[in-house]
């Protein structure tokens, strides 16, 4: 079992040291919502506009509940795409989602074809 050390204890873990976030929430959120940023962030994170403004200024981070709400929102996939970058798992997930959408489209088209096809008389 891998144990990660808490930074305040002064302990280090070589695996944890490789983990780094190369993004900042203000950058991510302003790119996703260039206009009325604080209002959109507040809406999708289910927080107050003032709290969103603090996140956008860099004064506060994005809290756990707000992050969960953001990821569960209609723009959650865009947030994941931005913060995951070119990671292999995200590319695989994008392909899986595209295949699922195509399969649903095929099913819908097949139903439409059946509705439009002339019915045979017996």
Cβ atoms of 44 and 69 within 8 Å: the answer is yes
- Between CA 68 and CA 64 the distance in angstroms is 6
- Between CA 13 and CA 61 the distance in angstroms is 24
pLDDT number for residue 8: 47
Tokens linked to 96: 């899986």
pLDDT in tens, 39-96: 999 999 999 999 999 999 999 989 999 999 999 999 998 998 888 877 888 889 889 9
pLDDT of 28 > 80? The answer is yes
Residue range 25-44: mean pLDDT, rounded: 94
What are the residue boundaries of the structural domains of the chain, listed by start?
Answer: 21-84, 86-115
Instruction: Name the pLDDT band for 4 (thresholds 50, 70, 90).
Output: very low
pLDDT of 1 > 70? The answer is no
pLDDT number for residue 42: 96
The CB-based long-range contact list for 57-62 (8 Å cut-off, 24+ gap) reads 57/26, 58/24, 58/25, 58/26, 61/25, 62/25
Instruction: Name the pLDDT band for 100 (thresholds 50, 70, 90).
Output: very high
> Inter-axis angle of helices 37-45 and 64-72, to 10 degrees?
90
- Between CA 119 and CA 122 the distance in angstroms is 10
Residue of 90, 83, 87, 85 lying closest to 27 (CA atoms):
83
Length of the chain measured in residues: 122
pLDDT in tens, 101-120: 999 999 999 999 999 988 77
């Amino acid at each position: 079992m891998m144990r990660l050390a808490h930074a305040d204890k002064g302990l280090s873990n070589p695996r944890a040291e490789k983990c780094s976030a190369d993004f900042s929430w203000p950058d991510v959120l302003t790119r996703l919502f260039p206009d009325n940023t604080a209002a959109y962030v507040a809406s999708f994170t289910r927080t107050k506009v003032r709290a969103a403004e603090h996140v956008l200024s860099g004064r506060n981070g994005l809290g756990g509940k707000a992050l969960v709400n953001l990821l569960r929102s209609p723009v959650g996939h865009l947030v994941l795409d931005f913060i995951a970058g070119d990671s292999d798992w995200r590319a695989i997930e994008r392909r899986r989602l595209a295949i699922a959408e195509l399969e649903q489209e095929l099913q819908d088209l097949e139903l439409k074809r059946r509705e439009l096809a002339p019915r045979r008389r017996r």
